[in-house]
Amino acid sequence: MSETWNKRTRAVHGGTRRSQYGELSEAIFLTQGFAYDSAEAAQARFIEAGADEFIYARYGNPTVRMFEDRIAQIEGAEDAFATASGMAAVSGALTAMLKAGDRVVAARALFGSCLYVLQDVLGRFGVETVFVDGTDLDQWREAIRPGTAAVFFESVSNPTLEIVDIRAVCELAHAVGATVLVDNVFASPVFSDAIAQGADVVIYSATKHIDGQGRALGGVILGTRDFIRKTVEPYMKHTGGSMSPFNAWIMLKGLETLDLRVNAQADNALAVCKAVQGHPALLRCIYPGHASHAQAELCRRQMGRGGTVLAFELKGGQDAAFAFVNALKIGRISNNLGDAKTIVTHPATTTHQRLPDDRKEALGITPGLVRVSMGIEDSGDLVGDMLQALDRAVGMVSPRD
């Protein structure tokens, strides 16, 4: 890799390894094992494997390594470890580094499975997690005391799109020697500069924008070479959450078009947010890339753009939200995000259904909230589809509100 290459060039060429055939498109090494030339060679590889030497696909594989090297180069991280899913990355990174008696400080607005890992799993092993409002620096300051081992948050929260100030929280954490792990899914590698902003570890669910076409699960942990190879790799390779070579190939090819897709999605999100301003069915449109968002300035500084997801809060509660999503002709009702297809989700009845009502309210997950993950379709078509569907929700008043 040339040090001067831009992210977009790294995304196409970074990490490429070619076999003796010189194939242009990256090969899928669909093999769990590797044959050695001699018993001595096998012995030597088990003592220390070189950069292009592999032992077993749970430990590493050429296609998986291409994906890891490419995304590390895009993110500006020293190294990366690819995992079977985003949750294998979150749980792996945390469990690999924490031990009984450790204290974690985390933002309250977390993906349900991340909350389960911290509270239920790590809690059972004697790791204590303190939760704070991620947008309130005073709460972070108070909670991050000496003895805090790790700080964990989603840089943009799901589904209400609040932004955590990476630079400010990292400063507080580093002052007490805590490791900062950022779940950066909503920013995607395209709008991320998290390592430069101070994050020690960056985590992606590759299932989202990196595949971006709804085909495969995957995840990745990025950090220093020391952290990835000495802390993460031993844990992951012995506990089994590694990425399959086939999925690594999908993700590797996904990286080539990631910038184009994610920027097109952000263009569409901004176009839709502008077009729906003042619509009579809406209480508000939440989009961090629009001036109406309370943290628009922080978003611009931290991510450059507002990302690919927006949220509508409809006046008529759940009935209006359902009328809106049911009336869409392009937007599909599902629960993935970052996809080439526009996807709408009603968090209160699906992804966040199990949260008690008071927790939903505290997180802003109201009956009228709809999350919209913008796809790469034509912007005019999407604006038209959103407006006609919002028109169907005008004047509805839900008896449940």
Ligand X SMILES: *Cc1c(COP(=O)(O)O)cnc(C)c1O
Return the number of the residue (86 or 288) whose C-beta is nearest ligand X: 86
The answer to whether 269 and 307 have CB atoms below 8 angstroms apart is yes
Regarding 244 and contact with ligand X (CB under 6 A), the answer is: no
Rounded CA-CA distance 264/379 in Å is 9
CB 210 within 8 A of CB 265: no
- In the structure encoding, which two tokens stand for residue 90, read together? 């979150």
Q: Residue 207 or residue 390: which is nearer to ligand X going by CB?
A: 207
From the CB of 103, what's the least distance to ligand X, in Å? 22
Asked if 86 interacts with ligand X (CB under 6 A), we say: yes
83 binds ligand X (CB under 6 A): no
Of 15, 189, 212, 219, the residue at the interface with ligand X (CB under 6 A) is 219
Buried-state track 319-342, b at ≥16 Cβ within 10 A, e below 16: bbbbbbbebbeebbeeebbbbbbb
CB of 87 to ligand X, least distance (A): 4
What is the amino acid identity at position 335? N
Question: Which one among 87, 273, 282, 370 touches ligand X, defined by CB under 6 A?
Answer: 87
Min CB(90)–ligand X separation in Å: 6
Nearer Cβ to ligand X, position 155 or 179?
A: 155
C-beta of 343: minimal distance to ligand X in Å? 12
CB of 197 to ligand X, least distance (A): 18
Stretch that binds ligand X, among 80-88, 132-140, 192-200, 250-258 (CB under 6 A): 80-88
Shortest Å, Cβ 111 to ligand X: 4
* Nearest CB to ligand X, comparing residues 113 and 224: 113
185 is a contact residue toward ligand X (CB under 6 A):
yes
Closest CA to 105 of 77, 137, 83, 79: 137
Closest separation between CB of residue 115 and ligand X, Å?
10
Classify burial at 177, counting beta carbons within 10 Å of its beta carbon; exposed 0-12, middle 13-18, buried 19 or more.
Answer: exposed
Does 192 contact ligand X by CB under 6 A? no
Using CA of residue 261, residue 262, residue 267, residue 271, what is the dihedral sign?
positive
Cβ–Cβ < 8 Å for 154, 107: yes
Site for ligand X in 124-183 (CB under 6 A): 154, 158, 183
Residues found in the chain:
401
The helix-helix angle for 379-392 and 317-327 (nearest 10°) equals: 140
Q: Which of 61, 205, 265, 268 binds ligand X (CB under 6 A)?
A: 205
Report the candidate in 218, 219, 222 with the shortest Cα–Cα distance to residue 181.
Answer: 222
- Number of residues binding to ligand X, judged by CB under 6 A: 15
Nearest C-alpha neighbor of 285 from the set 401, 393, 396, 368: 368
Task: Determine, following the binding rule CB under 6 A, whether residue 111 of this chain makes contact with ligand X.
Answer: yes
Instruction: Give the interface with ligand X as residue ranges (CB under 6 A).
Output: 85-87, 90, 111, 114, 154, 158, 183, 185, 205, 207-208, 217, 219
